[in-house]
Structure 1
Amino acid sequence: MVVSMGGVKVPCLVDTGSMVSTVTESFFTQHFELWGQEKLQSCHWLQLRAANGLAIPYIGYLELDMELCGKVVCRCGVLVVKDPPGGVSSQAPGVLGMNVINRCYGELFDQHGSTLFNSPAVSRAPESIKQALHRCHQATTRPLDDGKVKVCGKKAHHIPGGTLKTIPATCSDSYSGNAVLFESLDSSLPAGLLISPSLVQVTRGTAYIPIVNVGITDVVLHPRTCIGTLSSVHVVSLPAGVQAVSSEIAAMGETIVAPSVREQIEALDMTGLPAEEQGQVRTLLKGYCSVFSAHDGDLGCTNLVTHDIPLLDDAPVKQRYRRIPPSEYEAAKEHIHKLLEAQIIKESSSPYASPIVLVKKKDGTLRMCVDYRHLNAKTRKDAFPLPRIEESLDALGGAR
């Protein structure tokens, strides 16, 4: 859409997730620089960040009168951002953020009240502006509700160390039947508890919150403890008129089928044996073919023996992963994928974590190892007493 900024028509994208409005440096140079550099003000105290957390460089800001839905919103702040390295799209050099839309909604609501959406100026506005104004209307007319989430029940909840437990919590019944965003209040949580932001379903004023105890001791969570807040979320779908097109291109690849164990037994070279003995050897090998490995990933598995590692204490060993060179990313991913397919490893949610180490073999391929040194340092060592030297000397007495 086109928005009038200081009398200049600026093609803009409507971004309801942006709290600021912007224009590009090249557009400012072309249309606003004639006003003089004194029009461009600096605000080094403001840090502008994108949704991915990266900083957005800008050179300053302008205060412009903007016209939207027939209303002139005076002295709106517009940031002048630097042009991206790949060039700027001439179709939309500006971004219309919520700082302008909120002020425009306030003036329209003061004039028309709740019937503002029936006014000619709003009805003729683009659909993106209508949706943004509806969002402002919902935010201001929603009943006041702090959205606090408290632990329910009459008894305290015990969360053992190194475990995850789902705790029932109470909240406002106005969220019932909807998926809402839960965000924790770290200041009110006991030490050792961690709650990640998540989407939860509210049923009759009750939500079930997953809580992790990252410590080694049990933590008690008492009833009516405030653990977080709820916020309404909107499902982001495809805009009207846009359809997802599924690809009909078939991928073709070459599959190499490894010969089975029986086929390998039949192909054995036994020319040094008579024909009768060759048949006996092949019959014997086929009778125990299940113990032979068919390929590199066929390692076998047994459930007859369980391996236990006794430790000195119950504190989990947690280490950060080590940096993998970018040139070996694909090789590491492919190797992990093969191990998963062969069921040699499996996904885990254990509190124990040891880093992997990539070792290059003589043939240039990678071998994936795990650095268990910290875990080995905590294992309980077996005792093997040395024999007494006196007993050995006594045993040698009289020997020749």
Structure 2
Amino acid sequence: MEAPVDYVEGIGGFLLDVVGVWRFELRGVFNEKVIVEACVVAGCTGEFLLGVDFMRAKGATMDFDKNEVRYRDGERAVVIPFRTRDGSGGARVAAVRMAGEVQLAERAVTPVQVSVVAEDGEYGLFIPTKQTGSVMLAATVTKARNGRAWVPAINTNSVTTKLPNKKELGTWIPLDGELNILSMNGELRVERLNEWLNTMGNTVMPLEDESEVRIGVEEADARNLVMKLLRVYRKLSVNSGDCPPATALDMHHHIDTGDASPIMLKRRRQAQTEDKIIEDNVSQMLNAGVIEEGNGAWGFPVVLVRKKDGEVRFCVDYRALNKVTRKDVYPLPRIDETLEALGGAYYSRR
């Protein structure tokens, strides 16, 4: 293909010959094919450059907060991550997305592959910043390979859950190559772990339906250690059917209503069957110590909300209280913005 120009002007005013125009087929970290027609300049062997003409033709947007170029190709959303550096030469925070669709087993830990803008072998800190429903993600130090990394995902639901392709999960913060990620005093010895677990409590009596417990680990020794730990704290996995007990911490919460007069609302009219449900729930919470009898001047009605599975959720209508409560809720700063603002800062004491 004939080039539109014979040469281009480089840095310092030097003229560089244009060899020709080639059509490139590129594949990104999401395995998307991007076709680009680009000029080949003699002597330039650096990174591939996408110009304004490409951006305009695709209707693309460049997001410097997430370090991504995004546009739509028909029904398909194309995401091209890129890497930027701050004033000191360090790589900046970038968005982390799913590298492909993954099915997560119920109540299990599953490693998932994510896309990161990092060089091969670079260590980085993954920080989850997005809500993913029943899937729990933890801050993880991981290593990048071919623009991808692995992070653990915990599905707390009793059914399988899907994480779709390109779903944004959090941010990637590059770490110093000289950082000691983990230092241990000697090797990890399984026999010492077993001795420690045996001192914690009963590690022999099996759990109810222990054969159905899925922890995401099939290796026999590792599963045995986790099962021993669960046996020690078996009360955490037992469904007693009652309301969970109250916390042992001495916590008090003050609701500032200013000079508002006490509000005492009438009890809502319920069917006899619903009155029985309310009485049973109140008795369970009284026995568990979650609530206590009161004789104050404030009172609000109970509301029963039906769940999809037919069970009843015990709620209290506090809307009248919320109207007279002085607001004391303040937004928390975003973690990624805070860390980016601290980039390059250091502490010194003379």
State the TM-score, normalizing by the size of structure 1: 0.27
- Of Structure 1 and Structure 2, the greater strand share is in 2
| Larger radius of gyration between Structure 1 and Structure 2 | 1
- Of Structure 1 and Structure 2, the greater helix share is in 1
